[in-house]
Amino acid sequence: MINYMNKKNIVWFEEVGKEDVGIVGGKGANLGEMTTAHLPIPYGFVVTAHAYFTFIEEAKLSQKISDLLSIVNYDNTDELEKVSGAIRKLIIEAPMPKKLAEQIVEYYEDLQAKEQLYLHRKIHPIQKSIAKIKAVYDPPLVAVRSSATAEDLPTASFAGQQETYLNVKGETQLLKKVKECWASLFTERAVYYRHTQGFDHFKVGLAAVVQRMVQSTASGIAFSIDPVTNNKTKIVIEAIFGLGEYIVQGKVTPDHYEVDKRSIIILEKQLKYQNLKYVRHGTGNMEVKLNKKEGSLQKISDEQIMKLTMLVKDIENHYYFPQDIEWAIEHNNVFIVQSRPITTVDNKAGAGSSLQSHTTALPILSGSPASPGIGVGPAKIIFSPHEIDKIEKGDILVAPQTNPDYVPAMKKACAIVTEKGGRTSHAAIVSRELGIPAVVGAENATKILKNGETYSIDGASGEVFAGSILIGKAKVVEEEKPALKTVTKVYVNVAEPEQAARVAKTANDGIGLLRAEFMIAEIGVHPKEFIHQKKEQLFTNRLKRDLLTFVKAFTPRQIVYRATDFKSNEYSHLVGGKKYEPHEENPMLGFRGASRYLANEDVFGLELEAIKAVWAEGYRNLHLMIPFVRTPWELIKIKEIIAKHELDTLQGFKLWIMVEVPSCALNIEEYIKIGIDGVSIGTNDLTMMLLGVDRDSEKVANVYDERSPVVVNVLEHVVKTCAKYGVTCSICGQAASDYPELVEKLVRAGITSVSVAPDAVDRTRELIYSIEKKMNP
């Protein structure tokens, strides 16, 4: 598709996808991808980067722009501003090539008709239908948004604000706004950013998205994980009345809703007073003031919150990555305006730090937690970007709100406090990317806080304290707090080698679940393709390298490696995968786990050889766990394969099985008699199959609960049976992190360990300590 698209000036959304960022930009590519996935996207088209380059060439602007950039002193703000302004003026005043202008107008005139045809999938000849609908043509209102071809770089939030023009009507206004989008590529921020990052100004293109305007009664941002804590079990939604510009700018403080991703239960609602909204007025926009009663209402209904939550889940599932989503509601219909990857996943500098446990002092100010961590320093209050020079390294930046012009000052600050905005505002997003503690929506912060006075900012709790209460207190508390010791071991669940060193430093007893899938996915090629090309050693060496990363970091603590549990639909995404993987209607219950190892012994052998190679280097803490065992004879056969690779001769080597299939759980005694060293209960799959519930289906999510009596009874049966035979027994599903009451039942039943997410280690240890203390006072 790329070669064809590179030559086009304009494309409809459904003609592009995520692979076309280079020609339609990140925004355009995502809108095309979601349109093709039949998500509710306001329809539109993209004026491509090719059109931008054509315009620059035909208007003969390259040399003029180059001449201006050649004389600028990038470190002189005034000089950079003048040159930037001159370049933007050149672009805006240059005539649009006639052919290109005619193409844009033609697409604009066809927009309403094309949208109806696309949405309803009419079978009539398209041109005939368009002509018929054009008979009642009225120029549509559209939103015009810039979409830079480099905007999804990791640090692109600092490249400059992406332009958005709302309620644009008529061909003259449209052509003008497209050129203004192009001109935004040369704001002083964008020019300075490309210069400092070494980007060629003439190789970065810009597309313009033209999209049917949604006249939203409410709008906002949704995150498919908690953007502050990275909690993947929650969806966070923030909402305001009117058009969405004010939520991104942080001009108003939005309502804040948190929803359980699995059950779609609303966990928390924080209603905020919104003093004004931004709405359409004629062919333009206007600001409307809201009284206390109007502005304090819940911005969207509970039903709309749940509708939006289900859409967010669908989008995250489509992209296989946490998403930051812009949405709008018009006539009770929810529309998705944009979606992009969350750029701060696992960027949690200081996330574990909080002043709450270190002080009895009361905060003098509170708002919404926006970026975790603690910052202590003098406050500097500024009211506009023209004052950013007042901020020095180590200051606390205090402002009514921020926009991209504040970024240079934000980089110097030790913490940020704003009066307006929510966790999805500019201040919040940039603070998280920079790893700077931030509190937003702290009303009257510019009046309560005093210039030059020292304050302590707790970004995790959203609180501001007077003075340097962190200094001399946190360390004392940490030194006096004894390390808790428990009989029941607390392991961690991990997957990414890059996280090994960091997670190894937490107070865990080892790894109870080392997932193979991430490492295999990073290799990127189906194992059978390596075998086909006779390059098995390459695969084994890559896997061995990643395993050693964990082994070295955790030695001498135990590591239980779960052999690959990819399902056929997941394996097919690897290079060569479609050639080797069957199509299955229900991969969750299909060709996976132990059954796959028996059918593809050669692939399983590659994993066994990688483990053997780690042991050959002298390490003795890596062990093997077999997932999704359905029958005792499967375990017998698997042990025979392990013996062929001589792992059973390694002194101290242990073989575990995952207990996640009901037949295995209810018949666990037979598996123990065949010979295993350990059992780990996978509560996610086991609960799904015991209750007959698809855990990924929102339609029956309310039925899925690991605390159901039948599930608890089976869990206790497995634990007690293992205890009877002296076999190690653990639990590694989500339930171990989520439900303290279930953990207590299993500890009392004799479970020997639990395996949890890294951020749950400390609280799980404290929970088990208190349980064991009650059991043995």
Active site residues: 426, 732
List of residues 6+ apart from 692 with CB closer than 8 A: none
> Residue 561 pairs with which residues in a beta bridge?
514, 624
Extended beta strands in 184-332, E state: 206-212, 218-223, 234-241, 255-260, 266-270, 276-281, 284-289, 323-330
Q: Could you tell me if 37 and 4 are in contact, meaning their C-beta atoms sit under 8 angstroms apart? A: no
Q: Could you tell me if 431 and 347 are in contact, meaning their C-beta atoms sit under 8 angstroms apart? A: no
Pairwise CA distance, residues 96 & 58, whole Å: 9
- What letter does residue 252 receive in the DSSP assignment? S
User: Rounded to the nearest 5°, which phi and psi values hold at 485?
Assistant: -120, 135
**Which letter, b or e, does each residue of 617-630 get, where b requires 16 or more Cβ atoms within 10 Å of its Cβ?**
eebebbbbbbbbbb
Pairwise CA distance, residues 216 & 38, whole Å: 20
Supply 761's token pair: 């280690």
> What separation in angstroms does the CA of 715 have from each of 15, 460, 660, 729, 769?
51, 35, 10, 11, 21
Pairwise CA distance, residues 343 & 151, whole Å: 12
> What separation in angstroms does the CA of 295 have from each of 138, 271, 278, 418, 541?
34, 10, 13, 20, 61
Pairwise CA distance, residues 554 & 40, whole Å: 47
Mapped onto helix, strand or coil, the DSSP state of residue 196 is helix
Question: Could you count the other beta carbons within 10 Å of the beta carbon of residue 159?
Answer: 24
Q: Say whether the peptide bond before residue 385 is cis (omega within 30 degrees of 0).
A: no
Supply 553's token pair: 């970091």
End-to-end CA distance of the chain: 69
Supply 338's token pair: 């944009």
Extended beta strands in 382-488, E state: 396-399, 415-418, 438-440, 454-458, 463-466
Question: Could you count the other beta carbons within 10 Å of the beta carbon of residue 593?
Answer: 26
Q: Which of 268, 175, 262, 278 is nearest to 228 (CA)?
A: 268
Q: Could you tell me if 697 and 586 are in contact, meaning their C-beta atoms sit under 8 angstroms apart? A: no
Supply 150's token pair: 């480099």
List of residues 6+ apart from 132 with CB closer than 8 A: none
Report CA dihedral (641, 558, 524, 229) to the nearest 10 degrees. Answer: 150
Mapped onto helix, strand or coil, the DSSP state of residue 47 is strand
Pairwise CA distance, residues 211 & 46, whole Å: 8
- Residue ranges of the alpha helices (H) in 94-125? 98-120
Pairwise CA distance, residues 260 & 312, whole Å: 12
